Amino acid sequence: MRENHGSAASCIPPTGDVPATKGRRPEASCGCGGGEPQNRGLDRWALSRGATTMGEDASRSLGKGSVPPGPVPEGLIRIYSMRFCPFAHRTRLVLLAKGISHEIININLRNKPDWYYTKHPFGQIPVLENSRCQLIYESVIACEYLDDAYPGRKLYPYDPYERARQKMLLELFYKVPHLTKECLVALRCGKECCDLKLALREEFCNLEEILSYQNTVFFGGDCISMIDYLFWPWFERLDVYGIADCVNHTPALRLWIDAMKQDPTVCALLIDKNIFLGFLNLYFQNHPDAFDYGLKC
């Protein structure tokens, strides 16, 4: 059971060693650990197999009856994904932000291959697989693994307190994925969703309070860090889900959204709104080709 001891800001202390005060930007640990990663380019081996690497995601999804992919080549990590899934989106953001050479295998979640259950016991995504046949699943765990296992830019702060603080912030977010999905389903099914939107606004007000109390642009301080990438996929989807008005009364949160849209990693993975809407239209019709909507191949 999650404890509740008052307001969101009182539960999560401000970032940095100096308490936040009105009109003052507190000292913060960015946790960046260096500059932007170098783009390592596309892996020729993966391209020869029809898979995609780095930021691109143009491979068709694999369904029941498909041939399982072979071993992961040395120097690559594979992500089992789905182009429109916010949880997989988290892990892809981290892969791209850290410049990790990777291969994307998309899975048809309505018609999952039998072999995929050897990768995840419940057939969920995302799953990471490395060249040693090690499997890592659950999006937050996968993102932390990538940050720890690979060199370069560190997305979690080095400072143990700041790292713990980001994990506490994540606890404040736990209702948002479910509420956004419920709002989407209700709107798509022509049902009333005022209560759901009200609950979502309350969650956003908690996040607004944190940003205002910290007096920082990002949740981890003055630059993007892991917590921002873990939150982002659901905010990118607000407009296409038809619930963008839920942030109308949270100015600090809207500034954070605008700042996130300037990040090169976020920009590289943005999905065209019309393609996303096309996917949703087919998905709610149980169309077998929904997961591949918008692909040219």
Look at the chain and count its residues.
297
Residue 136: enclosing H or E segment and its boundaries?
A: strand 135-137
Residue 80 main-chain phi, psi, to 5 deg = -85, 125
The rounded distance, in Å, linking the Cα atoms of 260 and 63 is: 34
Mode of pairing for the β-strands spanning 127-129 and 135-137: antiparallel
**3-class SS of residue 83:** coil
Q: Which tokens sit at 177?
A: 């994925």
Is residue 11 annotated as a catalytic residue, yes or no?
no
Which amino acid, one-letter code, is at 100? I
Contact criterion met (CB below 8 Å) for 112 and 244: no
Q: Order of strands across the sheet with 52-53?
A: 52-53, 102-106, 77-81, 127-129, 135-137
The rounded distance, in Å, linking the Cα atoms of 72 and 75 is: 9
Catalytic-role residue among 32, 85, 143, 183: 85
Residue 247 main-chain phi, psi, to 5 deg = -110, 10
Residue 39 CB contacts under 8 Å (≥ 6 apart), including other chains: 54, 99
Closest CA to 291 of 56, 59, 83, 91: 83
- DSSP class of 245: G
Beta-ladder partners of 79: 104, 128
Closest CA to 116 of 135, 97, 103: 135
Q: Report the catalytic residues.
A: 85
